[in-house]
Structure 1
Amino acid sequence: MAMGRIAGRFTRVEPRLRAGRLVLGLLSDLPRKNCWTIAEWAGEAAPHGMQHLLSRAVWDADGVRDDVREYVVEHLHDEAAVLVVDETGDVKKGTHTVGVQRQYTGTAGRIENSQVAVYLVYAGMRGHAAVDPELYIPRSWTCER
C-alpha cells in the first residue's frame, strides 16, 4: 500500500515519514519486532521516535485503519473471503502496561504475565491482512481509574 494513501492522516510530515519506516520495519525479516529493533533497522539511534509516534504523536490511527481496510477490500476482494478472529498474547515482565495481568497466552502455552490483542483478519484466495486490531482489557483493569 502506498503511504500516499494515508498521508493526510498525519498532521506533520515527521510522523508520516516515521510511520513509513515503522511499516517497512514491521514487514521486514527482523526476528524480533519492537521499537528498539525497528528503530535500529530504520537507522535511528534510539527508539524514542518510534515510541513517540505510537504514544504521543498526533495522527488519525482510526482513519489509517479504515484506509488499510479499504485497500485490502479493493486489492484482495474475494466473494468467498472470510473474517478470522485471532488473539495474540505478548508476555510482559512488568504490570504497568495497559491490560497486563496473569492470564493464559498461547504464545507461552500457559498462564503468564501478559497482554492480549484481538485481531480481525480478512482472508481470501488473493491474500490475507489484519483489518482491525483491539487490545483486550481484562476486568481487573476496568475497575481501576
Structure 2
Amino acid sequence: MILQAKNQLTLQEFLNLPPGEGDITYELVDGQASPKMSPKKFHSKLTRALLNLLEQCCEGKGEVCPELAVALTRRGRDWMPIPDILYISNERLPPDWDQEGACSVPPDLVIEIISPGQTFGQMAAKAKDYLDAKVLRVWVLDTGLWTKRLEKSSQCYC
C-alpha cells in the first residue's frame, strides 16, 4: 500500500509528514510515501547478528546503523529508502551530519533482507537503484532460501 498524495511529494514534504500509525515506517518512492515491510523474528535476529558483526569489524572506522533513512536520488527524483542496515565510513560522513536526521550521503554499504511478500527480483532492482545512486556496495539476503537450507541441515553451527 502506498500513501497517495494529490501531487508528488518532494523530499522536504515527505520529511514534514506526521509519523505513521503504530510501527509503520515509510520510504519515499516515486514521490509517494510507501510503507516498509515490517520484519519478522528471523529477519530481526539476522539483522541483530549482522549489526553485531559489522560493529566489531568497523569499530572506529565509521557508523553502522539499522533502519536509518538515506536521502538519495533515483531516476532523477528524490528517493528516501530505509535499508535494514547501512554502513558509512568516516571518510564519507559529512562533518555537519544531523545525527537525528536521515543520512545525507550515499553509504559505503547497504544491506537489505528480503521479507515474506518481497521477491528477489524486486530487491535486485532496488539494489541496482542503490548502486546507481552511488552506494558502493549492496548486499541482498534472501532469508527464505537461507531458512530452507538451515531447516534441511541436521548439524548445529553454533
Specify the TM-score bucket, using the shorter chain as the normaliser.
Answer: under 0.3
Whichever structure has more helix as a proportion of its residues is: 1
Whichever structure has more strand as a proportion of its residues is: 1
TM-score by length of 2: 0.25
TM-score by length of 1: 0.27
